Chains A and B, each alone.
Chain A
Amino acid sequence: MFEVIFLQFLNGLDKGAAYALIALGLTLVFGTLGVVNFAHGALFMLGAFCAVLFRQLLTLETVTVDPTKLSPWGAPLEVREPLVQAWFGDFGAVLVNYSVPASIIITIPIMLLVGIGLERGIIKHFYKRPHAEQILVTFGLAIVAQELIKSFFGPNPIPQPMPSDLRGAADIGAFLGMQANVITYPIWRLVYFLFSFAIIAGVFAFLQFTTFGMVVRAGMADRETVGLLGINIDRRFTIMFGLAAVVAGMAGVMYTPILPPNYHIGMDFLVLSFVVVVVGGMGSLPGAVAAGFLLGILQSFASMTQVKSLIPGIDQIIIYLVAVVILLVLPRGLFGRRGVMES
């Protein structure tokens, strides 16, 4: 029984990690800029498609016809060689194999640009407007982003292979000194969990231990005073928006092997991550992370057959149910601060 519970706990971690990452970005934007960003799921989706784009670029091929050899059906043999392999040799092959993690190098600049462009272009005009209008404009942006992706990459999910070394499952049970082959867990999900853990730790460290982070935290607490001290707080907040976009994008990149990305993956995650943010408490970073993992794990437990036979359909609604209960019992969510969004 312990093994079953432990396994479900592990199963919840990777989904929880994705929720936590998206919710973290959402909370960053809300906490710094005070903007309710419905386009955040679209940023997650854009990140995922950075991985798709990177792989498509890597697998561009030259096709040469070799007249000396014949293919099985008698035509001259076409030799396809990826350009990357032709240029870089073995390193190219490794690069193609590791295309998903490697695509982070293009994801970071792209998402930073997208985030900063979005903030400077549109969102900065909405700081003083009501939250309802912020929701509406970002909702419109999300539609635009997902339709653009749809028109370039098509409506179908595009599977991304994980690196061949990281396929298969790890025998965590044996690792922890338990019976072998009872608790096995896909390696990539473990990688995803560790990756998101690193990013979350990185964001917290950045906010906690750097001067930039200190200024941003001060700005979150009292924007006006920080501005009066002669600090260009707007520029820093713009960068924070870019950072939130990068976090969402990286969450999307690394999730592609688990769930093949299609154009509405962002919307699917957005609804859930808003629930996560609200459960964690609007504007609370630790709350967002904790609620992300909590809901991921709860969802994993709810999809156990034993639980489902007890309460049919619980796996479909558990997250929303928890959200409703928490909102009604703890009006500010788990870690919400006083006076946030309570007008």
Chain B
Amino acid sequence: MRAMSRNDLLLFLGFTLVVLAMPLWLQPFGAAYPDLLQRFMIFGIFAVGFNILFGLTGYLSFGHAAFFGVGSYAAVWSFKLLSLDAIPAMLFAIVVSGLFALLIGYVSLRRSGIYFSILTLAFAQMSYNLAYSVLTPITNGETGLQLTLNDPRYLDAAMGSAQAGQPVPTLLGQSLGGFAGFYFCAGFLILAFFIAQRITNSPFGMMLKGIKSNQTRMNYTGFNTKPYTLAAFVISGMYAGLAGALLAVTDPLAGAERMQWTASGEVVLMTILGGAGTLVGPVIGAWLIKYFENIFSAINDTMLHRFWGFLPEGADNVMVAITSKFVGEGWFLTLGLVFVLIVVFLPGGIMEGVRRIAHLFNRQRKSPDRPASQVQPAE
């Protein structure tokens, strides 16, 4: 392991600071309430993990929600059977989703390209359909897996720390509601980011990038790429399981719809929107999507009328009618449009946009003394 370079350290420290200060700087945006912040953290972890597979190796998995769902189920089962403490639940979820990813990855990674996408999609849909039908004893079908008062909780019972009232997950006896839950998730996001950063900069990460740019050449140079891609797949599956478990910690209810392929599509959207292959990009993509999902879907016609109020009578009604298609229930339309535009014009996502703008500024700074007349074309 090499030591972190100065830039990496700065990036990591900056990221930590931004995450921990989120309740402060999101205040003006109306997003600084714990429930949404927890979601920011959880889907950030999910996207960072997905990026380890897709961003580094280029394998586009369309079934990552399966690991997310398995993580949720595993965490809730740990709450039911072992203890209400979050730590065993997280560990259990990571191990179970890692094993699940090992199984699916071992089979799916025999193929690449679109075949790999279809295989992962097929496995995820199988898990989803089974969770709804045959596996109802484990998943509780459509109702979703919930905590009940008469769960055994053997570990808690052995420790003699019985909890009164409705069971809620805790951390070493401390409640995980509200901002405590946010900081719990934030800790995991920072840890997840740190690990992803180390992976990206390690020889292992270089290997994965090599696989992305030319797998055949990697094979010719004598590397067996399979263990590397499988490792990346399992790691990213464990990230997804961790995210799923965190969602179960903040809201102890696991439903099968978390495993549906639309959920897999969502994490793909997040990663692409932010910028696949970059470290910060997927997190930003996840935050943006979750933020706008919350804000846009809450906007209703009254708010639109107030917004367009400056327009003359009649014109504002037209604008309200048009814009109302894009907010509230129709927010997915906006998401789809933005996504298409991003893929068409900015394939590297938001991070590429940032890089381009930075490049623009750098170029201007390098030649500040250029005469203004020279820029203007002759008539």
> Taking beta carbons and an 8 Å cutoff, which residues of A are in contact with B?
36, 122, 125, 129, 131-133, 135-137, 139-144, 147-148, 150-151, 155, 267, 271, 274-275, 278, 282, 312-313, 316-317, 320-321, 323-324, 327-328, 331, 341-343
Contacts and interface: CB of A to CB of B under 8 A. Distances in A.
Contacts of A136: 268, 272, 339, 343
Q: Give the residue among A122, A125, A148, A313 with the most B Cβ atoms within 10 A.
A: A313
B122 A143 contact: no
A21 B225 CA distance: 38
B104 to A, nearest CB: 10
A331 B107 CA distance: 12
Contact of A341 (B60, B115, B125, B347): B115
Nearest to A132: B60
5 contacts: A133-B343, A141-B336, A278-B115, A324-B119, A341-B113
Contacts of A267: 262
A136 B117 CA distance: 12
B134 A137 contact: no
B95 interface: no
A328 B115 CA distance: 10
A165 to B, nearest CB: 37
Interface stretch (B43-51, B176-184, B293-301, B326-334): B326-334
Contact of B134 (A150, A275, A312, A324): A312
Nearest to A268: B261
A87 B40 CA distance: 59
Q: How large is the interface on B (under 10, 10 to 19, 20 to 34, 35 or more residues)?
A: 35 or more
Given A144-B336, A147-B336, A320 B330 contact: no
B130 interface: yes
B330 A317 contact: no
Given A137-B344, A321-B126, A343 B113 contact: yes
A155 B328 CA distance: 14
Interface in B33-65: 58, 60
B339 A140 contact: yes
Given A144-B336, A328-B110, 13 more contacts: A122-B344, A137-B340, A137-B344, A139-B265, A144-B333, A147-B330, A150-B330, A278-B118, A313-B129, A324-B123, A327-B118, A327-B119, A328-B107
B118 A316 contact: no
Contacts of B332: 143, 147
B325 interface: yes
Contacts of B118: 274-275, 278, 323, 327
Contact of B340 (A36, A141, A148, A275): A141
B276 to A, nearest CB: 9
Interface in B125-143: 125-126, 129-130, 132-135
B114 A151 contact: no
Contacts of A147: 330, 332-333, 336
Contacts of A132: 58, 60
> 4 closest A-B pairs (Cβ-Cβ)?
A313-B134, A143-B336, A147-B333, A316-B129
Contacts of A328: 107, 110-111
B333 A148 contact: yes
A331 B111 contact: yes
A327 B111 contact: yes
Interface string B77-92: 0000000000000000
Interface in B120-173: 121-123, 125-126, 129-130, 132-135
A144 B333 CA distance: 5
B292 to A, nearest CB: 14
Nearest to B62: A135
A206 B115 CA distance: 29
A120 to B, nearest CB: 14
Interface string B234-263: 000000000000000000000000000110
Contact of B129 (A139, A317, A341, A343): A317
B337 interface: yes
B199 interface: no
Contacts of B122: 275, 320, 323-324
Contact of A327 (B115, B272, B325, B339): B115
Contacts of B58: 132
B231 interface: no
B304 interface: no
